Structure formats: C-alpha cells, structure tokens
Structure 1
Amino acid sequence: MVDFEFIDALTGDKVGLIYTQGQAALAKVDGNVPNCKSIFFSGCSLLNYAMPLVPAIYNTLLDAGEVDGLSVLCCGKILSYEPNGDVLRASFEDELRNVVAATSIKRFVCACPNCVKALRDAFSKDVRTKDIAIDVLPQTLADIGYKLNPKTCARLIKGDENAEVLFCPHDSCPDRESGDFARGLRALIPDGMWADPKHAWRRSVCCGSLPRAAGKFKQADKCADINGREALEVGSDAIITACMSCDFQLNMAQPHIQCVHYLEMLYDWRINWSQVGDMMKLRFLFNDTLGVIDSSNTQRLFEGMSSSVLDNVEDDCDECRID
C-alpha cells in the first residue's frame, strides 16, 4: 500500500512511498515535469532513514509557501565512491544541469549538507544554473518561525518533559565552508539548550562517515569516538545533528552518548537507529547514468528515474515496485 504519492519535480515520474517496507514505487504518467519554481530536495539519507518525514517536511514547506514541488533524485555525490566514479559523477551532474536548466526552478531547499555542497558545486559550473539558490532546510524552517519544543525534546531524550536537556551540536564536514547548516541548526534550538564541543563549526571532527565510505573503518570509529567524548565534556545529554548520515554513524560507532537529528525533535518522531542499517537502498538516478554503471561492480542499488523507460508500465504505482 502506497502511503504518499507525488510527481517528481525533476523527472516527471510518479513516485509512491511505502513506509513500512522502506520502499518506493515508480509509474509512468504523461512524462511532463511539473511547473515548479522552488522545490524540496530531500536527499537519499532522509528518504531512507526517515521516509515518513519526507512528505511531512514537504507539506510544512508547501503550506508555508516555501516550495511548490518535491524531488527524491540523488545529488550524485555517492557516485564518486563507485569504480570510475569521477566520470560517472560528471556525467550525472551534466544531465542534472541540463534538466534543471530546462525547468522554471529557481530554488532548491535541501535537507542534506552533502546535497547542498554537491549541488552548489555542480550548478556553479554552468551559466544556466549558477544563479539557482540552494538553501538549507534548518535555516528555512527557522526563518518561518519553527523552534524545537523543550518539552518534546525532554520527553524524547529523557522520558520526562519537565527535565532539562542540553544538546551538543555536531557540524558536518560538507558544511564547514559555508556554515549554513550549523547556523540553521542552532537557530532552531532554544537559547540555553546547546553547548558547542571543543571542535565545532569549521574545526568540527568528521563523524566517520567519509572514512567508512572509503573502507577505513578504524579511522571512522576513531572519529565517532572523539565526537562522543567531546559531547560528554560539555555536559550534554545528546549530540544533535543536521545530517542523517552523521546521526547514523554517531549512534552506531560510539558508545558514550545518544545522538539525534533535529528533525526527530521537531516532528516528535524518533528513528530506531538500530534497525535502519539495511535500509539505505533507494537512490534514484537518471537512466543515462545507469547506462554507464556496471551493476555487477557496485555495492549500491541505483534505480532509474525517467518515464521514458516505463512505456510498458500501467499508471499504477504497484506495477513497478522496487524490491
């Protein structure tokens, strides 16, 4: 049963999200891309780790007039870790620029720090896309008046809504240059409810996701351990992040303190991090990119997003389910 359906703002495909299975379904519609000016770009991590939050956030932004479309396309960064990754990623980004340039989209609101850096870098290389705004979700939410509720945070962190909670922000690597997510995260946390660790902002210590993706597991665990210890040093009750990948890594690879994502606190919906390890499987690319990926030589599952290859599929999401 499909829980939420929408037309992807970048591909024109009909996408159905199935929460209980952590799956998505694609179906052919008329092939036309919606006429959008500002879109929510969820990124792969949010889609996989917290699928129900994707439509929840989209509806929040839609109701506030911040966006008029949604896309679950991958930003392409993860292609760098595939064999011949630089060529694959360059090809994907070229197609992404072409697609975006052909639309009326002028703004992306992104949930993921990796997506923001990837899109800014990619779009800056083309005169057609260089002026498209790439905004960050936490700052956008703060600007329209959202703030974490202290009682909700206390209940989710300590089981007592009257308890006091102190967060230790973790700043992700791709945000070091701009600090946009770091500022947005802190803008959402009430005054007096956060304390920076020894290494923060531009000096933040990687959560360990990058070395883990490169196969350097000892280094990855060491990074996570440092973050956990520094969070304890400032007397915090939990690390809080603006990146789902950081959140996963800091929960799985260090034993010192719990880690939460600000969206868990904002939407009062906890992620069971011990059960999401095998859920990172939905990554949507253009079909031209899939044409040059050797599916036998990759550890990731990529799916095509273009109605042009779904000519024999009925207009029914259940007909083309990703298993």
Structure 2
Amino acid sequence: MGRVVYEDALTNSAIALDGYAYELLGRADRKHGHGARSVFFPGCSVINFAQPLMSKVYEMLTDLGEVDGISLLCCGKLLSFEPDADVLCPAFRSEFSRSVAEAGVRRIVTACPNCTAEVRRMLSFDPAVSDVEVIVLPEVLAAHGIALEPERVRTFFERNGIAYAGDAPTLAVHDSCPDRTIGEFARGVRSLIAGDLLVEMEHNRASSLCCGSLAKAAGKPDAATRQAKRRGEEGKSAGADGLVTVCMSCSSQLSSFQDTLPVMHYLELLCDERIDWDGLPPYLQMRFLFEARSGRRDYDGLSGGACCGASAVPDADCAQTSPGANSAPTDEGSADERA
C-alpha cells in the first residue's frame, strides 16, 4: 500500500503514512479536518498492524454515513506504563477530552476493545464530553446488514491457501479480555458471522481466556506460549478451521505463539485482505500522541498535531520512549494462567 494522507479530526493536523514510516505535514499542507461530529478511532494496534484495513474501513464507514472524520491518536492506555504515569495520564486525559469538546465530536466509533474502554473512561471524567457516544465497530457494521457469508469466507480461505474440512470453513471467535464484562465486540462479531460458520469454544464471551499478550509483556514467555496454544487447541476441539479475533494484538499474539489453527482478524475477512502477521514488527512502531519538542516528548497539548511514535528507525524525539511503553500489553488479563 502506498502513501496515504489522513486529516486528524481531533488535532486538526495531517499525517502521511507509508508503511511503517510517517510524516507530519507542515501547516501549509494541512487541510481543515477539524469539526467532525462522528469520528472513526482505529487505535494504535490497527494503525500499526493493519493500515490497509484501516483505510478500507474508514472508506466504508464514510460511505455508510456513519463517520465524517478520523483520528489517529493513541487512546493513551500505554502511558500508564511510563515512569511518570501519575502525571502523564491525567494530562493526556484532560487534553483528549478538551480536544473532543472543541472539535464538536458527539460520537466515536472504536475499532479496538482496549481503546473502547479507555476512551470511555477518559470521557467520563469531564461533564462536557461524558455524554459523547462511544460505539464499537462490529456492531456498527452489523447494523447495516454487513455479513460474512459462507462464500466470502470460503473464497478468503482458498485464496490465501488456508485449509478447511467441510463445505465451508468454520470459525471460532477468540473474545478479547477488555470486552469480557460488556461483550459488545463479542456480540458484534457474531452478528457478522453467518450462523452455520460459527462454532463456540468452551471458554467464550465472559469466560474467554487470555491470548497470552500480558504474560509476554510481563516477561513470561512460557506462560504466553502456553496460553496461546491453549486457545488454538480449544478452537480445534470445537471443530473450528480458524480462529477469528476482534483485537489486533490478539491476532498477532495467537499467530506467533500457536500453530494449531490459522488466525485472522474479522476485518481481514470483511475487507478480503490478509495481513502478514509473521512479517509485522514485534511492538507498536507508531503512537500518535503529542507534538515532540526540545528532543523529548511533551504531554501538554494537542494543538500542534502530533505524534509519539517511530518509523523503522526511531528519531531523536521518539527515542525517549521507555522499553515498557513499547512492550506494554495491549490486552488485559492475568499474566499467569486464567481459570
């Protein structure tokens, strides 16, 4: 995929993405994207792992009349792993809420379970934006009658050389830890999958088991591998030909740490575009937060547009990122086995 320019509705800046490299465009090149009422919020994991899918989904949502803007901001969850999180997190929360209010945003469509929980949490602190609706992407798509029919799934499997046993592939959903309590992504993705294609694992929805992301981030590779393998084996026992995820981090983790079943994010199936999970970098390379100044990251405003991320080779401004920020978990759950 070539260079794509996005106008950020919450920072009023333009960002050009080209693979894992990015460029913040100068003021003369910026367009006026500020003032969107309904914003697509893909989140860092989608930006980093699946930019082609992000572009297709944004176009889809725009065509459906569901959004009139996009923001590439990080939700800020990873700031809690910074050494001075007690200062950074409240500052980011304040600036994020103020940006939403000033842009006049009334609705945010989120693609990531972690972002959904974090964005809602941040907005709840500020009465000016506490009533902004945060709605999850799979439920928005399902409401428009979009569905993964057997023929579409069959074609995807065959085109990508993925084997299946019956007349059409069967899919088991790996539910994300942050969605356990509310179950919006769980409901939404199942609404998209034709009934005959779906099989349920023993542990699903509220009882779903962690993919192993947190164990990996906590420096417990054996536990991470064990948890991932358990999910693959459970899916196989349920009769699935593939594991479907709603979380990009889960997709990456399960693809890397188990080989019992092929793994795919549901957007890969919807957009008919396979992500090369094995070829992706091991951590988030791009995190768009605040403007970097004076050779360090500043968390004092969004007005200049912004990033705190890195291309394939980090620059001086972004080199201050702590190892914990890059390797921090993007899925919640126990670092050890979850019963």
TM range (shorter): 0.7 to 0.9
Distance 1:291 1:111 in 2: 27
Deviation sequence 1:212-252 (CA, Å, 0-9, x none): 22323222222212211110110100110111000110110
Structure 2 residue aligned with 1:198: 202
Deviates more, 1:90-99 or 1:25-34: 25-34
What is the aligned-residue RMSD (CA, Å)?
2.3
* Equivalent position amino acid for 2:118 in 1: A
Deviation sequence 1:83-139 (CA, Å, 0-9, x none): 233432222112111111212100000111010000011111111111011111111
1:103 aligns with 2:110: no
Structure 2 residue aligned with 1:142: 142
Alignment of 1:221-236 (within 5 A): 221-236=225-240
Q: Normalized against structure 2, the TM-score is what?
A: 0.82
Deviation at 1:150, TM superposition (A): 1.7
Confirm or deny: 8 A CA contact 1:154 1:165 kept in the other structure. Answer: yes
Structure 1 residue aligned with 2:186: 182
1:114 aligns with 2:114: yes
Deviation sequence 1:9-65 (CA, Å, 0-9, x none): 0101111121xx322221133676512100100111111111111121111000110
* Equivalent position amino acid for 1:53 in 2: L
1:239 aligns with 2:246: no
Distance 2:176 2:79 in 1: 19
Give the secondary-structure state (helix, strand or coil) at the position aligned to 2:100: helix
* Equivalent position amino acid for 1:259 in 2: V
* Equivalent position amino acid for 1:42 in 2: P
Deviation at 1:200, TM superposition (A): 0.8
Give the secondary-structure state (helix, strand or coil) at the position aligned to 1:90: helix
Confirm or deny: 8 A CA contact 2:37 2:106 kept in the other structure. Answer: yes
Structure 1 residue aligned with 2:315: none
Give the secondary-structure state (helix, strand or coil) at the position aligned to 1:59: helix
Deviation at 1:256, TM superposition (A): 1.2
Structure 2 residue aligned with 1:290: 297
Deviation at 1:283, TM superposition (A): 0.6
Structure 2 residue aligned with 1:168: 172
Give the secondary-structure state (helix, strand or coil) at the position aligned to 1:199: coil
Structure 1 residue aligned with 2:267: 263
Deviates more, 1:63-72 or 1:205-214: 205-214
Deviation at 1:279, TM superposition (A): 6.6
Confirm or deny: 8 A CA contact 2:290 2:297 kept in the other structure. Answer: yes
* Equivalent position amino acid for 1:224 in 2: A
Structure 1 residue aligned with 2:258: 254
Deviation at 1:145, TM superposition (A): 1.7
**Structure 2 CA distance for partners of 1:296 and 1:59, relative to 1, 3 Å:** closer
Task: List structure 1 runs of 4+ shifted beyond 6 angstroms.
Answer: none
* Equivalent position amino acid for 1:205 in 2: L
Confirm or deny: 8 A CA contact 1:81 1:214 kept in the other structure. Answer: no
Structure 1 residue aligned with 2:305: none
Confirm or deny: 8 A CA contact 1:83 1:297 kept in the other structure. Answer: no
Distance 1:63 1:129 in 2: 26
Give the secondary-structure state (helix, strand or coil) at the position aligned to 1:210: helix
Tell me how many residue pairs correspond in the alignment.
Answer: 299
Deviation at 1:255, TM superposition (A): 2.2
Structure 2 residue aligned with 1:319: none
Confirm or deny: 8 A CA contact 2:241 2:261 kept in the other structure. Answer: yes
**Structure 2 CA distance for partners of 1:170 and 1:268, relative to 1, 3 Å:** same
Gaps of 5+ in 1: 302-323
Distance 1:33 1:222 in 2: 45
* Equivalent position amino acid for 1:27 in 2: L
Deviation at 1:185, TM superposition (A): 0.4
Give the secondary-structure state (helix, strand or coil) at the position aligned to 1:240: strand
Confirm or deny: 8 A CA contact 2:38 2:109 kept in the other structure. Answer: yes
Alignment of 1:46-61 (within 5 A): 46-61=46-61
Deviation sequence 1:129-158 (CA, Å, 0-9, x none): 110111111110111121113223123324
Deviation at 1:78, TM superposition (A): 1.3
Distance 1:152 1:25 in 2: 36
**Structure 2 CA distance for partners of 1:282 and 1:146, relative to 1, 3 Å:** same
Structure 1 residue aligned with 2:25: 27
Distance 1:246 1:2 in 2: 26
Gaps of 5+ in 2: 300-307, 309-317, 327-339
1:83 aligns with 2:83: yes
* Equivalent position amino acid for 2:107 in 1: R
